[in-house]
Structure 1
């Protein structure tokens, strides 16, 4: 479960509207009574129980549920934003043909807003997704190369060469696991670079060899966590920063999307209850 706890929801006029907007007051919800919102926004009102049901039954290892927002007008989309709020995790995913996915988790863990734009800035798709991590993240990461490019550069030290060999071994082992496709959240292997005698030249060598991938994820709280896909499949850079933006932990994770960016099964149950409280407070 994610470490950052969300504020408890309350009755209308209390803290529910603040929690629904990432801690910021939401006049749209607070000023409206439930009956009025349900009558003025029947399509949003009809969407909420479907999302609650999806959250209540979702599992971290199962495919997610999509809720297409195409066709909703500007007022309805504004209301959706007010209901789900903006959480601490955001991501950018670069896809072929210049398409970019902008992803933001709501204040309810496991409920994501996903918007695709084309190279010309035109909106291609807009939907809500219930899942551990949006499928666009996994699909983009799967488009990277399958093996470690061990012969790309001359290693600056035996340490760098040993690390690259370790990474290549664990990438091959993870890819060969028959259960990995069915259960993508299976634990992988972590190499904590912060605890090793790695020089700046070694780090530059690893960066150039592994390459830059198509996924960037940032989780913000008291500090922040940055998760980057490398250009090598199953290899992720995970870095933790304190409140002063100092790097405190630097690691490579071999496996699926690192848990730091994902919702856990217990998160979905909590999010279902929180969204249910919002529905009861403002839409019934």
Structure 2
């Protein structure tokens, strides 16, 4: 689970030295990877409320696979045992999301069944809503992304030690202003001649809003929404935590966050198998 907003990394991984270098040191290989392990359901067979919620999720996943609107299932008012049952069955998947507004906080965690999201909405430090949602992404995330404070402004004066940041900023601001659905674009900063001063100035000018996303797997993908509408930092890190791909995406929401159509079909099938075992 994502507990804090991570900073933007500006230093890429050190290059690998030639094989004939006597001091050659390669990046450490990944040492561990999390994989799905089905929970034990033997102690939860007598929980009709929990099984009813899982059945609603299966229906919601099948509906999402058909391209229909997302389905929400409230967890408010349920007994603690039922919520614990749901927590154990759904587990914690690869994606976690943290969003902040004044006096409000949103925590979202994808289940091990891709396309199922656990959403908690806090107001003034107290839990106001707790629910499950099936769909490519939680609808409230798109709502919050569209209303994240005052946008950044294109600077009119630039430091003398910059190289390509001014031209790149003008391009990013223009693409943000002209963005339209279906015209998503990614800018690979690894391929551009940018100095460390350029990178620091980019981070400063684009700013950061209160939305952070972490996608874990074979390494990390850390995503931060900038203060510029529809502009996101999307940074990939290897297992030792070194930045290996640094991009800016102009999109409503990066695709790496979204569940794919095939995910809904697979999750509905696996969750159906869990239900069948519970009924056995």
- CA drift of 1:268 comes to 0.9
Q: Give unpaired runs (5+ residues) of structure 2.
A: 1-33
- Report whether the alignment pairs 1:212 with 2:198: no
| 8 A Cα contact 2:99 2:105, kept in partner | yes
Distance 1:209 1:61 in 2: 38
Distance 2:143 2:75 in 1: 21
- CA drift of 1:195 comes to 1.2
Give the equivalent residue in structure 2 for 1:229.
225
- Report whether the alignment pairs 1:271 with 2:276: no
- Deviations along 1:25-68, one digit per CA (max 9) or x if unpaired, are 634x1x33xxx72xx32222222222111101215975421111
Correspondences of 1:14-29 after superposition (within 5 Å): 23=36, 26-27=39-40, 29=41
- Report whether the alignment pairs 1:48 with 2:61: no
- Report whether the alignment pairs 1:123 with 2:127: yes
Correspondences of 1:64-79 after superposition (within 5 Å): 64-79=70-85
Distance 2:222 2:66 in 1: 21
TM norm structure 2: 0.81
Distance 1:239 1:147 in 2: 21
- Deviations along 1:162-206, one digit per CA (max 9) or x if unpaired, are 1111112211221xx3xx3xxxxx351111111111112111111
Distance 2:228 2:67 in 1: 23
- Deviations along 1:62-117, one digit per CA (max 9) or x if unpaired, are 54211110011111000001111110110101134x11111110001110001112
**Which segments of structure 1 move beyond 3 Å, counting only runs of 4 or more?**
21-27, 59-63, 144-148
| 8 A Cα contact 2:165 2:194, kept in partner | yes
> What is the alpha-carbon root mean square deviation over aligned residues?
2.2
Q: Which has the higher helix share?
A: 1
- Report whether the alignment pairs 1:242 with 2:232: no
Distance 1:211 1:87 in 2: 29
Range with greater deviation from structure 2 (79-88 or 61-70): 61-70
Distance 1:87 1:198 in 2: 35
The residue matched to 2:54 in structure 1 has which SS?
helix
Give the equivalent residue in structure 2 for 1:143.
147
Range with greater deviation from structure 2 (152-161 or 264-273): 152-161
Distance 1:62 1:161 in 2: 43
Q: Give unpaired runs (5+ residues) of structure 1.
A: 1-20, 181-185
- Decide whether aligned partners of structure 1 residues 105 and 22 sit closer, same or farther in structure 2, where only a CA change above 3 A counts: farther
Give the equivalent residue in structure 2 for 1:5.
none
- Report whether the alignment pairs 1:159 with 2:164: yes
| 8 A Cα contact 1:69 1:127, kept in partner | yes
Distance 1:145 1:162 in 2: 25
Give the equivalent residue in structure 2 for 1:6.
none
